[in-house]
C-alpha cells in the first residue's frame, strides 16, 4: 500500500504519528500546499516523503499519485477541497478515503425544513463511475463521521433487533489557557469546518426521509462518561445523518454536539457580521474570504495541545429493541484524554481521535479484511475488526447502558 496523505495540518500530522507505529504500508507521501509543513510531518518516519500539492486542482492530485505509484489517497484537508481530491484519485486509479463529505447547499426557499444539496450528494452521484472502475471511495471515516458510523453497524448487527434512533452525541470538557493560565477561545478543530457545519441547517432523518431544522435547535443535556459529565448538546449538520440510513434501518437519525453557550454566541456573531461567508471580498486591493480570515487569526488547532486539558468523547446513543426483545438504550463511545495523547504522540486529543480511524481503516483495507467498490460509508463494513484494532492501537472503546424511555 502506497498512501498519498493530502494535508499535513492538525489531523494530517496526527495521522503520520499514529501510522508510524504500524507496518501495513510501504510509504506515505505527505503532501501539503505548505511544503515546509509537509516536510515537518514527513520527518517522523523514514517511510515518509514530503511533497507540495494544490488540493483545489484534481490534476495536481492525479499527477502526484502517478509520480509515486499511489494506491490510496487519504484526504485530510478541509471539505471544500473534497471534490478535486476525490476526482483526482479516481483519475489516477487510486482508492480514496476522507473524513468529511462533499459540501451541502441549503434549500433556496425553505432552508429550515427542506434539504437542498445534501452532504455527500456530489460524491454519491459519482458512485457508478467508481464502481465501474473497480475502485473504492470510503467516505466519512474520521471520528464523527467515522467511528460513530462503525458503532451504528455494530449496534445493528450485535445489540439491537429494531432501532428507533441512532443519535450521535459528541461532548468534551476541554479547556485551553494562555501563558498566564486564563481560559481562552481556541477551537480544537478546523474553524473553517466548524463554521460550515454549525451554521448550516442541521439535517434529521425521520421515518424514511431527510428534513432540516434551525441551527442549534432541540437542545438536550447529555451525561457523558468518564468524568466529562452533563453537557448541553444541539442539532448540527453532520454526515452521520446522511450516511447511517443508507445502510441501517432506523426510524430516526440525529447528530447533536456539545458546543457551549460561548461558542454558539461567537458563531451567531460571526454570521451576523457576515464573517462566515466564503465568497471573497475586496479589502484594500486584496481579495479575501471572510471565513478564511477568521480561521487564520485563531490559533492553529495543531498547536493548542500543550495548553489544553480535559477529555473529548465521541459516541452513538442507540435506542430501540434489544436482541432479547426488551427495550434498550445504549451509548457506544470513545473517550480520549488530552494529557495521554500529548504524552504518547505529541498531538492534541481532538485531532488524534479523528486521525486514528482512517489509519485503522487503511490497515483493514491493506489486509483485505475490508473490501469493496463504489462510494461507501463505514456502515458498509464489518464493525468488529475495526473495533478490535482500535483497542489494539491502545485506545479502547466503551459501552454504557442507559435507562430506556418509558413506553
Domains of the chain and any CATH numbers? 2-138 (3.40.50.720), 147-350+396-402 (3.30.360.10)
**Least confident stretch, 117-126, 170-179, 353-362:** 170-179
Closest to 71 (Cα-Cα) out of 89, 94, 91, 51: 94
Q: Tell me what pLDDT residue 306 has.
A: 77
CA 361 – CA 368 distance, rounded (Å): 11
Q: Tell me what pLDDT residue 224 has.
A: 96
CA 367 to each of CA 24, 26, 85, 218, 282: distance values in angstroms, whole numbers, following the listed order: 8, 13, 24, 43, 51
Q: Tell me: pLDDT of 108 over 90.
A: yes
Pick the residue with more confidence: 286 or 53? Answer: 53
**Least confident stretch, 154-168, 171-185, 192-206:** 171-185
Pick the residue with more confidence: 389 or 182? Answer: 389
Q: Tell me: pLDDT of 186 over 70.
A: no
Q: Across residues 56-84, what is the average pLDDT?
A: 97
pLDDT category at 110 given cuts 50, 70, 90 is very high
**Least confident stretch, 161-165, 225-229, 342-346, 403-407:** 403-407
Q: Across residues 286-292, what is the average pLDDT?
A: 88
pLDDT category at 243 given cuts 50, 70, 90 is very high
Q: Across residues 160-177, what is the average pLDDT?
A: 93
Q: Tell me what pLDDT residue 145 has.
A: 96
Q: Tell me: pLDDT of 122 over 60.
A: yes
Averaged pLDDT of the chain: 93
The helix (H) or strand (E) run that includes residue 252 is strand 252-257
CA 222 – CA 205 distance, rounded (Å): 20
Q: Tell me what pLDDT residue 396 has.
A: 96
Q: Tell me what pLDDT residue 52 has.
A: 97
Q: Tell me: pLDDT of 406 over 70.
A: no
Q: Tell me what pLDDT residue 264 has.
A: 78
pLDDT category at 374 given cuts 50, 70, 90 is very high
Q: Tell me what pLDDT residue 277 has.
A: 87
**Least confident stretch, 179-193, 282-296, 328-342:** 179-193
Q: Tell me: pLDDT of 187 over 70.
A: no
Q: Tell me: pLDDT of 263 over 60.
A: yes
Percent of the chain scoring above 90 in pLDDT: 79
Q: Tell me: pLDDT of 273 over 60.
A: yes
Q: Across residues 36-48, what is the average pLDDT?
A: 96
Q: Tell me what pLDDT residue 275 has.
A: 85
CA 144 – CA 6 distance, rounded (Å): 19
Phi and psi for 346 in degrees, rounded to 5? 75, 20
8 A C-beta contact, residue 149 and residue 139: no
3-state DSSP call for residue 159?
helix
Supply 304's cell numbers. 493548542
Q: Tell me what pLDDT residue 308 has.
A: 83
Q: What angle do CA 123, 104, 129 make, to 5 degrees?
A: 10
Q: Tell me what pLDDT residue 270 has.
A: 85
Supply 253's cell numbers. 437519525
Q: Tell me what pLDDT residue 299 has.
A: 73
8 A C-beta contact, residue 139 and residue 376: yes
| CA dihedral sign, ordered 142, 276, 55, 111 | positive
Q: Tell me what pLDDT residue 302 has.
A: 67
Amino acid at each position: 500500500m502506497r498512501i498519498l496523505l493530502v494535508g499535513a495540518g492538525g489531523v494530517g500530522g496526527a495521522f503520520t504519528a499514529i501510522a508510524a507505529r504500524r507496518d501495513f504500508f510501504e510509504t506515505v507521501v505527505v503532501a501539503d500546499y505548505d511544503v515546509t509543513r509537509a516536510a515537518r510531518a514527513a520527518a517522523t518516519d523514514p517511510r515518509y516523503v514530503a511533497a507540495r500539492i494544490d488540493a483545489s486542482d484534481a490534476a495536481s492530485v492525479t499527477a502526484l499519485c502517478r509520480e509515486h505509484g499511489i494506491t490510496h489517497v487519504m484526504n485530510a484537508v478541509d471539505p471544500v477541497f473534497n471534490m478535486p481530491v476525490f476526482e483526482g484519485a479516481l483519475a489516477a486509479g487510486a482508492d480514496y478515503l476522507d473524513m468529511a463529505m462533499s459540501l451541502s447547499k441549503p434549500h433556496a426557499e425553505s432552508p429550515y425544513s427542506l434539504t437542498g444539496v445534501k452532504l455527500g450528494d456530489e460524491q454519491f452521484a459519482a458512485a457508478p463511475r467508481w464502481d465501474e472502475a473497480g475502485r473504492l471511495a470510503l467516505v466519512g471515516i474520521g471520528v464523527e463521521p467515522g467511528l460513530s458510523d462503525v458503532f451504528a453497524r455494530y449496534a445493528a448487527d450485535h445489540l439491537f433487533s429494531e432501532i428507533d434512533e441512532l443519535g450521535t452525541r459528541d461532548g468534551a470538557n476541554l479547556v485551553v489557557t494562555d501563558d498566564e493560565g486564563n481560559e481562552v477561545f481556541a477551537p480544537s478543530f478546523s474553524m473553517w469546518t466548524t463554521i460550515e457545519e454549525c451554521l448550516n441547517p442541521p439535517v434529521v432523518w425521520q421515518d424514511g426521509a431527510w428534513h432540516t431544522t434551525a441551527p442549534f435547535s432541540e437542545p438536550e443535556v447529555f451525561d457523558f462518561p468518564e468524568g466529562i459529565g452533563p453537557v448541553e448538546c444541539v442539532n448540527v449538520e453532520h454526515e452521520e445523518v446522511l450516511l447511517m440510513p443508507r445502510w441501517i434501518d432506523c426510524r430516526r437519525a440525529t447528530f447533536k454536539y456539545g458546543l457551549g453557550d460561548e461558542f454558539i454566541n461567537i458563531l451567531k456573531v460571526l454570521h451576523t457580521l457576515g464573517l462566515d461567508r466564503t465568497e471573497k471580498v475586496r479589502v484594500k486591493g486584496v481579495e479575501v474570504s471572510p471565513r478564511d480570515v477568521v480561521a487564520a487569526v485563531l490559533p492553529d488547532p495543531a498547536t493548542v495541545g500543550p495548553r489544553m486539558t480535559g477529555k473529548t468523547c465521541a459516541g452513538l446513543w442507540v435506542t430501540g429493541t434489544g436482541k432479547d426483545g426488551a427495550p434498550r438504550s445504549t451509548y457506544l463511545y470513545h473517550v480520549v484524554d488530552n494529557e495521554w495523547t500529548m504524552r504518547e504522540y505529541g498531538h492534541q486529543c481532538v485531532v488524534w481521535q479523528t486521525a486514528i480511524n482512517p489509519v485503522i481503516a487503511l490497515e483493514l483495507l491493506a489486509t483485505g479484511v475490508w473490501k469493496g467498490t463504489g462510494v461507501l460509508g463505514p456502515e458498509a463494513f464489518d464493525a468488529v475488526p475495526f473495533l478490535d484494532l482500535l483497542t489494539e492501537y491502545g485506545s479502547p472503546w466503551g459501552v454504557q447502558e442507559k435507562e430506556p424511555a418509558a413506553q
